[in-house]
Chains A and B, each alone.
Chain A
């Protein structure tokens, strides 16, 4: 092994070049995730999108399936899958509907027909859910009501939570 000055300089230059190359590699590997835009509504993998859409459909079923028998408990349980902001909005709406549920002895059983991803990032996913709602009052025959619902899921410190629901 030679200890000559030129060789040490070559090694030093080589080390600097390799550090630079490592920096470029790190920059590439740590590069930011793609952002959604008009031309890229979905910028997460299929598995992530599908799992969050499935969670949205399941949460929507839980939220919309209610009964006059244990209305308050079901509303309280439903808020556990919502962001605090949406839970407050939902709680106010649910409270205003409570007398109607009790007077008419209303029961709703919801069933998901199909679901799809509308937009998705690693922070927020919007799912289109076709939902059938079977509504019965005073023990009567259930009436099927078909809905189209947009469920917004937001990633929080407690996982993916429902942050908005729009129904048409």
Chain B
């Protein structure tokens, strides 16, 4: 009887020991998984943030009218940084003169947007837009203006701003 009780106790010690080791290994795996998921979640959030920022900037870029030029250019500048922001802040008068002289008006919308690459500081995003352009040359008749855009973005104080817009011909 006593031997049976001691045997039961030994089995319980072994069981607790095995479970403790399994819990320790599991704990390490949970910690690693938690770190990985936190990194992945941050990266997934970057995809969303850069797509939103690029979509907004591309929408501003393809919607510029001579009638509302200052406001339209200010919208582009608001989502920009670096040389792109400089262009739409320092050259505003010249661009507005040009838009009014040619009676230029563009309108468009984003069809698709996708991320080429993104890290914690930089991103490259493709944005396809459909739209029209009219000016004196078109005799104020809207012409199709469907664009393939490539935007470079940088993270500035928690916000994604566009530093370059390329039209991919």
**Chain B residues with Cβ under 8 A from A92's Cβ?**
none
What's the A-B contact tally at a CB cutoff of 8 Å?
117
Please, which residue of chain A has its CB at the minimum distance from the CB of B11?
Answer: A11
Cβ of A168 to closest chain B Cβ, rounded Å: 6
Q: Is B94 positioned at the interface, with any CB of A under 8 Å from its CB?
A: no
Q: Which of B129-149 contact A (CB under 8 A)?
A: 130, 146, 148
By the criterion CB–CB under 8 Å, are A148 and B148 in contact? yes
Q: Which of B1-58 contact A (CB under 8 A)?
A: 2, 5-6, 8-10, 12-13, 15-16, 19-20, 22-23, 26-27, 29-30, 33-34, 40-41, 43-45, 47-48, 51
**Chain A residues with Cβ under 8 A from B159's Cβ?**
none
By the criterion CB–CB under 8 Å, are A46 and B48 in contact? no
Contacting residue for A128 out of B8, B10, B112, CB 8 A? B112
How far is it, in angstroms, between the C-alpha of A159 and the C-alpha of B94 when the chains are bound?
A: 54
Cβ of B112 to closest chain A Cβ, rounded Å: 5
Chain B interface, >50% SS class:
helix
Contacting residue for B44 out of A7, A21, A43, CB 8 A? A43
Q: Is A127 positioned at the interface, with any CB of B under 8 Å from its CB?
A: yes
Q: Is B121 positioned at the interface, with any CB of A under 8 Å from its CB?
A: no
Given contacts A114-B150, A116-B126, A130-B168, contact A7 B9 (CB under 8 A): yes
How far is it, in angstroms, between the C-alpha of A12 and the C-alpha of B19 when the chains are bound?
A: 12
The 8 A CB mask of A116-152 against B (1 = contact, 0 = none) is 1110000000111010000000000000001010100
Q: Is B120 positioned at the interface, with any CB of A under 8 Å from its CB?
A: no
How far is it, in angstroms, between the C-alpha of A41 and the C-alpha of B26 when the chains are bound?
A: 31
By the criterion CB–CB under 8 Å, are A1 and B26 in contact? no
Name the interface size band of chain A: 35 or more
Q: Is A157 positioned at the interface, with any CB of B under 8 Å from its CB?
A: no
By the criterion CB–CB under 8 Å, are B8 and A29 in contact? no
Please, which residue of chain B has its CB at the minimum distance from the CB of A43?
Answer: B44
Q: Which of B92-148 contact A (CB under 8 A)?
A: 111-117, 124-126, 128, 130, 146, 148
How far is it, in angstroms, between the C-alpha of A34 and the C-alpha of B40 when the chains are bound?
A: 10
The 4 closest A-B pairs by CB, nearest first: A116-B114, A128-B114, A18-B19, A25-B26
Interface residues of B (CB under 8 A from A): 2, 5-6, 8-10, 12-13, 15-16, 19-20, 22-23, 26-27, 29-30, 33-34, 40-41, 43-45, 47-48, 51, 111-117, 124-126, 128, 130, 146, 148, 150, 168-169
Sampled A-B contacts (27; CB under 8 Å):
A3-B9, A8-B5, A8-B9, A15-B15, A15-B16, A18-B22, A18-B23, A19-B19, A21-B23, A22-B23, A25-B27, A28-B30, A28-B34, A39-B48, A42-B44, A43-B44, A114-B150, A116-B115, A128-B114, A128-B126, A128-B128, A130-B126, A146-B169, A148-B112, A150-B112, A168-B111, A168-B130
